[in-house]
Amino acid sequence: MGIKKEDIEYLGNLARIGLTDEEKERFAKELEKIIYYVSQLSEVSTEKIPPVWHVLPVTNVFREDGVEKSSCSEEILSGAPDESDGFFKVPRII
């Protein structure tokens, strides 16, 4: 199966990663090889084998819904590239 430059562009859009032309060409070649390598799994018979969702038999964890102190908004916003009046600031959306 061939992976084309356009496929990489499509995936880049899905993942919101801007890629240069050079990167698209390189990743197309590399991804094709990697996909070919991982396709060897098709030779394993997995009929009636349920997929693993968790390696250990764990169940949901519940706790009381209590009020606790957590980080204040100032601390959380301190790493933001842009903020205003206690909010994250993003470019105009609509």
Nearest distance from C-beta of residue 93 to other proteins, angstroms: 5
CB of 23 to other proteins, least distance (A): 7
Whole-angstrom Cα distance, residue 68 to residue 65?
9
How many CA atoms are closer than 13 Å to the CA of 3, on its beta-carbon side?
A: 18
Q: How far is the CB of 91 from other proteins (least distance, A)?
A: 5
Q: Which helix (H) or strand (E) is 87 found in, with range?
A: strand 87-88
Structure token pair of residue 71: 């980080």
Binding-site ranges for other proteins (CB under 8 A): 8, 11-12, 14-20, 23, 27, 30-31, 33-35, 37-42, 44, 46, 49-56, 58, 60-61, 63, 71, 75-76, 78-82, 88, 90-93
* Distance (Å, whole) CA 75 – CA 79: 8
- Smaller CB separation from other proteins, 20 or 67: 20
